[in-house]
Structure 1
Amino acid sequence: MPLPTADTPFATSLALSGPLRQPRQMLADQTYDGHKSIHDDATAGDLGLRAGPIEGPTHFSQFDPLLARLFGRAWFETGCISAHYQTMVVEGESVRAFVDLPAPGAAFVRIRAEKADGTPVLTGTASVGEPGQPHELEQRMAKLRPATGLVINRDLQVGQRGAVPETIRMGFDQHMGDHYPFTLRDKLAAITEPCDWYTPEGGARSPWGRPIIPMEMISVLLGSTIADARLGGRKPAVGLFAGQQIRLIRGPLFVDQDYALEREIVALSESARTESTWVRTRVYEPAGRMLVAEMILNGAVMKASYPHYEREARELGLA
């Protein structure tokens, strides 16, 4: 809570908010490991959900205008957004983004998103430059207890690195694989917050003279080749994003540019219903190996989706 100052006697927290938006579901046809994902209505129904949820980072776009208003060009160059996903959103539901106003001179803020009825969608933090304090996912990682009852992820280890070098790029009409069955051009036709700098024509008018990749599509860029890293658990199992942090270090990331990735498991955790990996992905420009961005993804797999869970848990003495 802010303290009263010479300029105002009030200690009331204030926030910027955006309009209610209805984000589009674009992953209904997503597949991996030979099966549909949780974003498919039938698969979601089998797991007790009313419909396939919209992917969490889709909501990041609603924060971009608010954070750009607060931090200007720096948001696109050194911005960081870190979110714990709280409640699933299905197509047709409305969502509003909120950003707490920072103290004078501060560059670290709390963020949240809510449905129209006030149901929390996500909670988190955002910043520009060097954060100076841990972000939402880093705070949660620091509180994790050692995972001692893993079944699906029992073959994985903290410190384990991606199996192969990965080089990626995103063009406007490039298919990003089975994980993401749409193109950047498709997304730009449906994105909740259109921006001139994302487009082929408007990109030339951006401060960098090139079209930039939206923050939510950085998740797609980095996730499109994740299967190659072989950092997942036993299969078949259905997963979802439980939390995510994307930080630009020397941004923005550009359309039609190659990037090299390095991945590492930085934590393993479990809950009553899920087992989770926490994977840090570092993004480099291939020439000179300059670090330009990084992502931490808390990917959770649902125990109920793994057909051998109960039997293997008994065999391991965990049930």
Structure 2
Amino acid sequence: MNTSTSAVTAFPDFPAAALCGPLRQPRQMLADQTYDGHLSIHDDKTAGDLGLKAGPIEGPTHFSQFDPLMVQLFGNEWFQTGCISAHYQNMVVEGEEVRAFVQPPKGSERIVHIWAEKRDGTPVLKGTASVGSDACDDQHEIPQRIAKLRPNKGLVINRDLTVGQKGAEAETITMGFDQHMGDYYPFTLSQKLKAITEPSPWYTPEGAASSPWGKAIIPMEMISVLLGSTIKRAGFSGRGPAVGLFAGQQIRLVNGPLFVGQAYELEREIIALSESARTESCWVRTRVIHGDTKALAAEMILNSATLKHSYAAYEQEARELGLI
């Protein structure tokens, strides 16, 4: 493992030996998010209508709190072949404090267990993390959850989608510092860097040259924004209007980091469809391809869950389909 001094200076203000991060107050930056012509669960009123006390903070925002811990364990390799795989357990609203934890590896282990809690111990997420291109992907949290999915009894919202369905059109994306990422993500990278819980000079224009790669890298949590900003083009939308949320997510760097201002091509595929008592889920794998070399740079698996009761026609259509 790389534990060089240059790795640790990615987060100069973070305690070098810590495997438990400090309490942080992540910021809510999706209050104005819209899709399918309506506001999302991150809007306070929409959240209130669904029985929540306020619009929750997006799950991958918490990934930043693990970055310094992963750098301490794995050095620069975290930014090149790091994988974080998490099941989201409880929502966090702005003003609440969250702390990240990592169980150090034993012996030759390369996969570590991670979790995050609120100040009062309420679980926020749990999962796994690793480095290495041969990091036994099937041992991570999200693939293990997919492997345990039971056959659904019948879908209503997602009944027009199929496992194996590919993205409807080619997508080429990039993320600049001041680039607006669309209605799904109504903020820029520069705005995020002013609020990110774990700032690093390697993310910034000023500190780009100091990174081991000589240019600015995209923070792990913002890889989710990069890949999610054009998801509408894939044609994976279920019936609506309905309100969704992230229930679980895995981001794996294969040939990283991902760089600010660099073009990438995306390939998307639905790898599972499932349901619970309250939600219907569409599990999508997004492969990130270097625009110049065509090599695989990264991939993300996202469990996008839609709340059944947020779809007004759910009960009626379920009856028509003979499901209730």
Q: Scaled by the length of structure 1, what TM-score is found?
A: 0.95
- Tell me what 2:224 maps to: 219
Q: Kindly state the Cα deviation for residue 315 of structure 1 after the two structures are TM-superposed.
A: 0.3
Secondary structure in 2 matching 1:201: coil
Aligned residue among 17, 22, 34 for 1:19: 22
Aligned residue among 47, 51, 70 for 2:50: 47
- Tell me what 1:81 maps to: 84
Structure 2 gap segments, 5+ residues each:
1-17
Q: How many angstroms apart in 2 are the aligned matches of 1:33 and 1:88?
A: 23
Which residue identity lines up with residue 286 of structure 2 in the other structure?
A: T
1:127-206 maps to which residues of 2 (within 5 A)?
127-129=130-132, 130-132=134-136, 133-206=138-211
Q: How many angstroms apart in 2 are the aligned matches of 1:118 and 1:46?
A: 27
Cα deviation, 1:70-89, whole Å, max 9, x if unaligned, reads 00010000000000000000
Q: Kindly state the Cα deviation for residue 134 of structure 1 after the two structures are TM-superposed.
A: 1.8
Q: How many angstroms apart in 2 are the aligned matches of 1:173 and 1:186?
A: 8
Q: Kindly state the Cα deviation for residue 60 of structure 1 after the two structures are TM-superposed.
A: 0.1
- Tell me what 1:255 maps to: 260
- Tell me what 1:241 maps to: 246
- Tell me what 2:14 maps to: none
Q: Kindly state the Cα deviation for residue 106 of structure 1 after the two structures are TM-superposed.
A: 2.3
Structure 1 gap segments, 5+ residues each:
1-14
Q: How many angstroms apart in 2 are the aligned matches of 1:148 and 1:280?
A: 23
Secondary structure in 1 matching 2:19: strand
Q: How many angstroms apart in 2 are the aligned matches of 1:288 and 1:124?
A: 32
- Tell me what 1:228 maps to: 233
- Tell me what 1:36 maps to: 39
Aligned residue among 57, 61, 65 for 1:58: 61
Which residue identity lines up with residue 46 of structure 2 in the other structure?
A: T
Which residue identity lines up with residue 140 of structure 2 in the other structure?
A: H
Q: How many angstroms apart in 2 are the aligned matches of 1:42 and 1:215?
A: 29
Q: How many angstroms apart in 2 are the aligned matches of 1:294 and 1:150?
A: 27
Deviation larger for 104-113 or 41-50: 104-113
Runs of 4+ off more than 2 Å: none
Is the contact between residue 265 and residue 289 of structure 2 (CA under 8 Å) also seen in structure 1? yes
Q: Kindly state the Cα deviation for residue 232 of structure 1 after the two structures are TM-superposed.
A: 1.6
Q: Kindly state the Cα deviation for residue 241 of structure 1 after the two structures are TM-superposed.
A: 0.1
Secondary structure in 1 matching 2:126: strand
Secondary structure in 1 matching 2:223: helix
Is the contact between residue 153 and residue 323 of structure 2 (CA under 8 Å) also seen in structure 1? no
Residue 67 in 1 paired to residue 77 in 2? no
Cα deviation, 1:133-172, whole Å, max 9, x if unaligned, reads 5210000000001123200000000000100000000000
Secondary structure in 2 matching 1:140: helix
Which residue identity lines up with residue 100 of structure 1 in the other structure?
A: Q
Q: Kindly state the Cα deviation for residue 201 of structure 1 after the two structures are TM-superposed.
A: 1.2
Give the percent of matched residue pairs that are identical in Structure 1 and Structure 2.
74
Q: Kindly state the Cα deviation for residue 210 of structure 1 after the two structures are TM-superposed.
A: 0.3
- Tell me what 2:4 maps to: none
Residue 118 in 1 paired to residue 121 in 2? yes
Is the contact between residue 287 and residue 296 of structure 2 (CA under 8 Å) also seen in structure 1? yes
Residue 272 in 1 paired to residue 306 in 2? no
Q: How many angstroms apart in 2 are the aligned matches of 1:306 and 1:195?
A: 41
- Tell me what 1:309 maps to: 314
Which residue identity lines up with residue 230 of structure 2 in the other structure?
A: T
